[in-house]
Amino acid sequence: MSVRLSQLDNGLRVVSHHMPHLETVSLGVWVKAGNRQEAPSEDGVAHFLEHMAFKGTARRSAFDIVEEIEQVGGDLNAATGLDQTAYYATILKPDLKLAVDLLADIVINPVFDDEEIARERQVICQEIMAVSDSPEDVVFDKAQELAFPEQAVGRPVMGRIETVSSITRDDLIGYMKRYYRAPNMVLSAAGHVDHDQLCDYAAKAFDELSTGHVDVIEPACYKGGIGHSAHPFEQGHVVIGLEGIGFTDKRIFAAQVVNATLGGGMSSRLFQEIREKRGLAYHVYSFHSSFEETGLFGVYAATDAARSVEATELMLNEIANCCAEGISLKEINRAKAQLRSGIAMSLESSGARAEQIARQILFFDKLLSNEELIEDVQSVTAEQCQALMNEMAAVGEPTISLAGMNGRSSAFDQFSTYFSGRADIGSGSLQRTSSEAPSEDIAGGA
């Protein structure tokens, strides 16, 4: 496997995986900055900046940017997350120099024209409103807010309409100056790419990239709680979350095995129990989203209002069963096979591979071989999985996020009774453990 890593004089790291059987190259710039790095007053600025990178530079108009990449049959896009922003392209192998130059131009030289800012502000507000029409997005955004309240990781990546409406050109420039620095960025490529040539192009294109120290962000602090987003969706949407673990924690592989067993596929416990046996939901699954130092582990289902409490009880019982009884050897072997195949399949896509090695350098500062990853997966034991589940269930309050069912319903009145205070996850039931009054958001409806 031809994977190479270099560092330019300004501190920018360049990593590539040569895949000679391909005729294309996937490459991108990954910045270790997302909405985790935002102050409350600039909520959404990272995502706004990502949009504005395509709206013109000192050398190219907005049309020039898309025309240049598309006239060679390439594609250019970007994405903002909680802890990173990525600008990436896919091109034919002879067009590597153009793609590197374009990527460097949009991340170093955006002009932030006031008229473009005003137009794009409207586009982003439309994007935010579109998310509010998606019940799955709504219930997960609420879960994130409940799990990490009054913190950047608990706020939506896109921001809120009120904050996006107040973001200024100075805010965009200030955020960019703080975090778009060479040591905080990685140029990654996978496909039919020559590493030395990539470094030569990058050294010229990224020569003006800022250098210097980037401030360390405060660790996220999990809290948990109960909340209801009273959008008028036809179904009830439920997320039950627990504090997870960070992706730098070696137990991340045990978490992945538990996740695959609990709700990671059609043979998983949740799918079989809630969809196949009872027909309670079309969508039901588990998840584990990680940051460097912590994460959120949980389960999700969308179900009929009249049977939502029944479905939720079953979800909690499956979590409790993992705590009390553990996971069978058959389930662990099946989960490991799924994870091994996922690692192998990552080598089939140049785009997935470019992102994988970029994140390894950005967050681990080293490359991890697939052989190492598979060995870590294979080393997971049933005892480790059960111990991890019990630890996650015992720490802090659960996160209970509810959405839909046309606002208030009798089902939500039941939820408020079951979930006021702290639900005892480990008991396998929803018995109240506190005389605390129901959450105002749930009890009051909307």
Q: Which among 158, 4, 159, 32 is positioned nearest to 107, based on CA atoms?
A: 32
Question: What is the CA 220 to chain-centroid distance, rounded?
Answer: 15
**Nearest-angstrom CA–CA distance, 426 and 323:** 7
**Nearest-angstrom CA–CA distance, 165 and 122:** 9
Strands 294-303 and 281-290: antiparallel
Other C-beta atoms lying within 10 Å of the C-beta of residue 296: 27
Active site (annotated) includes residue 50: yes
Q: Which among 116, 129, 117 is positioned nearest to 159, based on CA atoms?
A: 129
DSSP string, 195-213: HHHHHHHHHHHTTT-B-S-
Q: What is the sign, positive or negative, of the torsion defined by CA atoms of 157, 135, 394, 265?
A: negative
Other C-beta atoms lying within 10 Å of the C-beta of residue 52: 24
**Nearest-angstrom CA–CA distance, 75 and 93:** 13
**Nearest-angstrom CA–CA distance, 303 and 324:** 26
Burial of 308 (0-12, 13-18, 19+ CB in 10 A): buried
Catalytic residue among 42, 50, 331, 355: 50
**Nearest-angstrom CA–CA distance, 409 and 442:** 10
What tokens appear for 438 in the block? 């129901």
Beta-bridge partner residues of 288? 297
Q: Which among 32, 8, 5, 9 is positioned nearest to 17, based on CA atoms?
A: 5
Segments of 159-235 assigned E as strands: 185-191, 225-229
Residue 48: C-alpha distances to residues 77, 82, 108, 133 (Å): 14, 14, 15, 20
Backbone angles phi, psi at 401, to 5 degrees: -115, 130
Strand, helix or coil for residue 81: coil
Beta-bridge partner residues of 89? 27, 76
Are 186 and 13 spatial neighbours (Cβ–Cβ below 8 Å)?
yes
Angle at 23 between CA 188 and CA 189, to 5 degrees: 0
Q: What residues are labeled active site?
A: 50
